[in-house]
Amino acid sequence: MSDNSLRLVWIYPDLLSTYGDQGNALVVERRARQRGLGVTRVDVRSDQPVPTSGDIYLIGGGEDRPQRLAAERLRRDGGLSRAVANGAIVFSVCAGYQILGHEFINDLGEREAGLGLLDVVSTRGEGARCVGDVLADIDPQLNLPQLTGFENHQGITHLGPTARAFARTRLGRGNGTGDGTEGAYNGTVFGTYMHGPVMARNPQIADLLLKLALDVNALPPTDDRWYEALRAERVAAATQPA
Which segments are annotated as binding site for substrate?
129
Q: How many residues does the chain have?
A: 242
Q: Could you give the angle at the alpha carbon of 6 between the alpha carbons of 115 and 208, nearest 5°?
A: 70
| Alpha carbon distance 2, 97 (integer Å) | 25
One-letter amino acid for residue 84 of the chain:
V
Query: Buried (b) or exposed (e) across 89-104, using 16+ Cβ within 10 A?
Result: bbbbbbbbbbbbbbbb
Q: Which positions are annotated as active-site residues? A: 94, 195
Contact 139, 165 (CB under 8 A): yes
DSSP code at position 218: -
Q: Which long-range contacts (CB under 8 A, 24 or more apart) does 170-179 make?
A: 170/135, 170/136, 170/137, 170/146, 171/133, 171/134, 171/135, 171/136, 171/238, 171/239, 172/130, 172/132, 172/133, 172/134, 172/135, 172/136, 173/130, 173/134, 174/130, 174/134, 174/136, 176/125, 176/130
Which residue positions form the known binding site?
129
Selection from 128, 123, 204 nearest residue 172 by Cα: 128
